[in-house]
Amino acid sequence: MNKQKIKSKDLDLSLLEGNFEKKELNQLLGQWIAQQINQCKIDRWAAWERNHQIDTTAFDLQIEKLREQRAIIESYLSSIEPTGNHKIAAQINVQLKA
C-alpha cells in the first residue's frame, strides 16, 4: 500500500470545474444545498436522540442560513440566460489544526 505523507497542514481541492447549461446549474446547486440541509437535519436529530434537552438553535440557524443561500442561488439563476454555457468552479481549502 502506497502511503503518502502530507507535509503541509493545508489541503486545496478542486471539487468541480466546468461549463453548464442553466438547467444543469439549477439541478447541481439545488441538490448540493438540499444535501447540506438534509445533513444538518440528520445531525440535529442525532444530537436530540442523544440528549432530548439539547438546544437545537445552532442547527436551526445553520438550516436557515442554507435556505437563505438557496434563495440567493435561485434568484441568481433566474437572472441568467437559459441557454449557453455558464462556468462554475468550486474549491475547498482544508486547514488542519496542530
Residue 7 pLDDT: 57
| Cα dihedral sign, 90-17-11-32 | positive
Question: Is residue 1 included in any domain, yes or no?
Answer: no
Question: Is residue 48 included in any domain, yes or no?
Answer: yes
> Does an H or E element contain 77, and which?
helix 57-78
pTM of the model as a whole:
0.74
Average pLDDT per run of 10 along the chain, which is 98 residues long?
57 83 88 95 96 95 96 90 81 79
DSSP symbol at 9: S
Question: Is residue 3 included in any domain, yes or no?
Answer: no
Residue 35 pLDDT: 96
Question: Is residue 5 included in any domain, yes or no?
Answer: no
Number of domains observed in the structure of the chain:
1
Residue 6 pLDDT: 54
Which residues constitute the domain of residue 81?
10-95
Question: Is residue 80 included in any domain, yes or no?
Answer: yes
